[in-house]
Amino acid sequence: MITFSENYLSETPVFASIPGGDSLFPAKGFMVVDKHYNVIAVDEGYKMFHKLFHQTVLKSGDNIYLQVANYYPTNFNAALRNSIEYSEDDLSLTLDYKGEFSSSFKVYIDQLQHPINCKGARIIIERTEEDDSDKQEEKSESFFRQLVDHSTSIYQLTDSAFNISYSSNAVEEVLGYHASELFDKNVIDLVHPDDRDLVKEWLVNIKRQSEKLLTLEYRVRAKKGNYIWIENSAKNMLNNLGFRSIVMSSKNIQEKKIADDALVQAEQRLSLLLNNTAESFIILNSRLRIVTYNKSAQERSPHFYNKEIQSGFSVLDLIDESEIQDYITLFEQVFNGEEKEKETKYIDEQGIPHIYSHTFRPLFNAANDIFGVFITSSEVTERKNLTEQVAINSERLKTAQKIARLGYFELDAVTKTFFCSDQFYEILEIDKSVQSWDQLMGYEKNIHNQDKKNVIAEISNSILKEDDFYLEFRYFVNGEKEKVILAIGGIETSKLDNAKVFKVTLQDITETRMAMVALQALESKFKSIFDNSIDGVVLSNHTGELLSANPAACKMLGYTQQEMASLIRPDLLDVESRPVQEMIYKQNTLGEFVGELNFKHKKGHYVPVEISSISMKDANGKNYVSTIVRDITDKKKIEEDQRLLTDELLKNNQDLQQFSFITSHNLRAPVANLLSLLSLYNKENHADEFNQVLVDKFEQATQQLNSTLNDLVNVLVIKSNNNIDKEPISFTSVFTEVRKNVDSLLHERKGKIHADFTAVDEILYNKIHIDSIFLNIITNAIRYSSPDRKPEIKITSHKMDGWVMVAFADNGLGMDLKRYGDRLFGLYQRFHGNKEGKGLGLYMTKSQITAMGGKIEVESAPDKGTTFKIFFKTQKV
């Protein structure tokens, strides 16, 4: 009797003595059945044996009597039933098979005792050897044929190059080819292209390893063109004299493959479920090899392990060697039924650390045995960070103290417990052996004499009155190096035990102090620039309220600095004017403005200025506008002078052009006359009467030309001579002289002249010019007198701002100034039918006046009279 779940063939007396059969028909076989004759286990040898009696394939779970009960020989059935139901003894019998070939088998049956399921039987069959080898071969050949032709497996023989020399009939059933169609075809020809490499490798192995059965699953093309999965077991029997071939046996495993696919799909569905969770799962078997894992685990595994995980890998291969011992210890505990946790840290590409927590749980099977490990992993970075933060903060506090170089000192008022931080010693540069208040007070001598009193007073006060103190003092190290130290402290009473502790923090602020002193120096430098600048500097905010102004700006605009600081924009500028609007716009949009404006002076007048303003931010981020103001009054004046000068030049230029037009006209006119006269002259008959008339006219025209030329020369002399000699002139004497010249004319017209030069009688002028001016104007006044009145002329002098004015008023014909005003002083302009006028007089007069920087004005009304006012520029006599 044997027991269940042991090796079914162990302790079998016949096992060792059975000599090896051939590959197609093993020499031995076994089967185990339960008491209902259901197959529990069966091997290939027994299956062959079974086939001799039945056409079906026997497999686990089949009932051996289902449908086929009658086929086993009666003595076998009886022996089996007996063995299961009654006998505990082993049975042995011989079976003879008489079919296509004859063979005899020894059959051993022993009872199987299962602890729960009671009974069953083990059947071992053993083929008995034939003595006659020839007969055996014949038998074998016949048996083989019988076997292969009725088998659902394809049997094939190939030569050493795998060209098919024989195919069994099953090939037609499985693949659709007639056996003859495959003759001399190479095995590889029918293989699915995707499987060819695998098959080639397999074939090479077969060829290399004689007499070894090698199995491979691959796809073969059926006659219809579809591919069918087969399992091919092949054996190199090239050296076997009976075969001299490679023997192949192929089974159709298409259905099995479909079942496998279904299984894979089911697994995929499960993994889909697992893969959609953020948590990572990995299942290890009892040998710590990875059985399965979800997507999350695959993605994240590089964060915990050295390699990407893969089924079949041992988890110990994925970790650093240094960790192996830790992991083994951990797994030992897990296999003892404990649940363990472990954390790993991973730093990503951005340098951000990720903390993962891993839980290792044992996996139990139905028998409560541990057969694997279930690992779940999830990120706990945030949680971890929080707890670490607390730890870091306290560390930071220490570091901060160190960096800030804050010294700390504590003294318990009652227990006299004394504590100084390292920085405290460093700042005061005292020895660490100082461990008591008294010792510390020994360094009081290092405090600057001027500060000592204050320090002692503050500290004493603080201790006695429990006030806080805040003091700065100078402190000498080794009697020379001076430090500035800030000390803050006071008495603190503990809430727990009412203990009074005197606490002080110290800070070396020497450098800060120095920086402040430097800053103050810089500020004072800036202030001196601000105060002493020639240009005005005005600071204002964005709404135009002035904040401050330097002395130059104040002086320029007439305000004190205090007054300036309270001004607003409209106080200084015409905010409605276009330039100011433009400035405001540019200041607001571009943040700067450069241009010219007029600032209102305190006294009300305007100061032309050039300003350059820019928006700035102060240290507190507040916006303000800094404006540099430059007084350009002088510049403006120069510009105005230049403009006047340009205007004058332009006018002079026009005058000259006009003069040239007029003179050429006046020269051409007599020349034209001369030419015409010449053309009329009768050259053939000099005695022509008319010739004499022409000669007279010729003389007149020549005189006319000469006179015109003389006039023009006179005008040119006046015009071109800028540096005319000046001398003190008395109006009275000039008038007296002129009076003589016009006396006859005046007498003729019965006119009178009143002259009064009492207001001013003397100027610095050119004698010839002033004579000419007086003569011309007086002559005109008499010449164009009204025929209805006796001419009366009044001449008066007047002193004016910058000028001396002489007025000549007559009661003559007068003229319509609206009509002639613009031409009055023009060259060769005549207004009266009087033959005497050439249109030169007033032109000459005006030229003589303007050449000396003066001007002439006229007032007149037809038939009332005319007044000429001559303005002479005041000269110092």
Judged by CB under 8 A, does residue 32 bind another protein? no
**CA dist 201 to 130, 193, 205, 235, Å?**
39, 14, 6, 14
Which DSSP string do the residues of 159-226 spell out, in sequence order? -TT-BEEEE-THHHHHH---GGGGTT-BGGGGB-GGGHHHHHHHHHHHHHSBT-EEEEEEEEE-TTS-
Q: Looking at beta carbons only, is 608 or 837 nearer to another protein? A: 837
**Residues β-bridged to residue 568:** 545
Residue type, 205: N
Residue 538 in 3-state DSSP?
strand
Cβ atoms of residues 231 and 259 within 8 Å: no
Both structure tokens of 370: 């541990």
The answer to whether residues 423 and 402 touch, using CB atoms and an 8 Å cutoff, is yes
839 contacts another protein (rule: CB under 8 A): yes
Give Cα separations from 477 to 430, 446, 688, 716, 775 (angstroms). Answer: 9, 7, 137, 97, 105
Q: Does 668 bind another protein (CB under 8 A)?
A: yes
Contact 623, 617 (CB under 8 A): yes
Note whether 822 binds another protein by CB under 8 A.
no
Closest CB to another protein among 3 and 679? 679
**Residue 766 CB, nearest approach to another protein (Å):** 30
- Shortest Cβ 834–another protein spacing (Å): 7
* 708 interacts with another protein by CB under 8 A: no
Specify the residue for token string 């009939």: 169
Whichever of 226 and 676 has its CB closer to another protein, that residue is 676
Name which of 379, 387, 390 is nearest 355 in CA terms.
379
Cβ–Cβ contacts within 10 Å for residue 773, how many?
Answer: 27
**E strand map for 659-779:** 727-730, 752-756, 762-765
| Interface map 801-820 toward another protein (x if CB under 8 A) | ------------------x-
Residue closer to another protein by CB (options 580, 701) is: 701
> Is 828 near another protein (CB under 8 A)?
yes
Q: Is 658 in the site for another protein (CB under 8 A)?
A: yes
Nearer to another protein, 561 or 676 (CB): 676
Residue 692: both structure tokens together:
């004499």
Nearer to another protein among residue 638 and residue 675 (C-beta):
675
Of the candidates 263, 638, 656, 672, which one interacts with another protein according to CB under 8 A?
672
461 vs 660, which CB is nearer to another protein? Answer: 660
| Shortest separation between residue 784's beta carbon and another protein, angstroms | 12
In the bound state with another protein, the residue whose beta carbon lies nearer, of 133 and 710, is 710
How many CB atoms sit inside 10 A of residue 218's CB?
20
Scanning 111-119, 538-546, 666-674, 780-788 for contacts with another protein by CB under 8 A, the matching segment is 666-674
The answer to whether residue 787 forms part of the interface with another protein (CB under 8 A) is: no
Cβ atoms of 251 and 234 within 8 Å: the answer is no
Of 665, 747, 750, 799, which lies in the binding site for another protein, with binding defined by CB under 8 A? 665
Q: How many residues bind another protein (CB under 8 A)?
A: 28
Which residue, 821, 825, 809, 806, is CA-closest to 871? Answer: 806
Choices 45-53, 70-78, 668-676, 756-764 (CB under 8 A): range interacting with another protein: 668-676
Query: Binder to another protein among 697, 798, 855, 873 (CB under 8 A)?
Result: 697
654 binds another protein (CB under 8 A): no
Find the angle CA(675)-CA(676)-CA(681) to the nearest 5 degrees.
Answer: 100
- Angle, vertex CA 28, rays to CA 23 and CA 30, nearest 5: 120
Give strand ranges (E) for 256-405. 280-285, 290-293, 340-347, 353-364, 370-379
Helix (H) or strand (E) holding 549: strand 546-549
Binding range to another protein, per CB under 8 A, among 100-108, 150-158, 557-565, 659-667: 659-667
Q: Closest separation between CB of residue 698 and another protein, Å?
A: 9
> Tokens 């099977």 identify what position?
365
Using the rule CB under 8 A, is 703 a contact of another protein? no
Whether 164 contacts 178, CB under 8 Å:
no
Question: What's the closest the beta carbon of residue 668 comes to another protein, in angstroms?
Answer: 4
Q: Is 677 in the site for another protein (CB under 8 A)?
A: yes
Stretch that binds another protein, among 175-183, 252-260, 265-273, 675-683 (CB under 8 A): 675-683
Beta carbon nearer to another protein, 507 or 663: 663
Quote the least distance from Cβ 655 to another protein, whole Å. 13
Compute the distance between CA of residue 188 and CA of residue 200 in angstroms, rounded to an integer.
7
User: Do residues 838 and 766 make contact, with C-beta atoms less than 8 angstroms apart?
Assistant: no
Task: Please select the residue that binds another protein; options are 77, 704, 786, 796, rule is CB under 8 A.
Answer: 704
Backbone φ and ψ for 534, nearest 5 degrees, come out as -75, -35
Q: State the minimum distance, in angstroms, from the CB of residue 839 to another protein.
A: 8
656 touching another protein, by CB under 8 A = no
Distance CA 408, CA 430 (A): 14
Residue 340 sits in the site that holds another protein (CB under 8 A): no
Judged by CB under 8 A, which of 490, 551, 558, 837 binds another protein?
837
Choose one: 66-74, 190-198, 451-459, 827-835; the region binding another protein (CB under 8 A).
827-835
| Contact between 414 and another protein per CB under 8 A | no
Under the binding rule (CB under 8 A), the answer on residue 679 touching another protein is yes
Q: Choose between 668 and 750: whose C-beta lies nearer to another protein.
A: 668
Contact between 666 and another protein by CB under 8 A: the answer reads yes
| Strand ranges in 677-830 using DSSP code E only, listed in sequence order | 727-730, 752-756, 762-765, 792-800, 803-809
The least CB distance from residue 843 to another protein, in Å, is: 13
Tell whether residue 710 is a contact of another protein (CB under 8 A).
no
Q: For another protein, which residue of 519, 675, 695, 861 counts as binding (CB under 8 A)?
A: 675
Output the smallest distance, CB 677 to another protein, in A. Answer: 6
C-alpha–C-alpha distance, residues 62 and 363, integer Å: 33
Question: What's phi and psi for 116, nearest 5 deg?
Answer: -105, -55
Min separation Cβ 828 and another protein, Å: 6
**Mask 119-158, x = binds another protein (CB under 8 A)?**
----------------------------------------
User: For binding to another protein (CB under 8 A), which residues are involved?
Assistant: 658, 661-662, 664-666, 668-669, 672-673, 675-677, 679-680, 697, 700-701, 704, 819, 828, 830-834, 837, 839
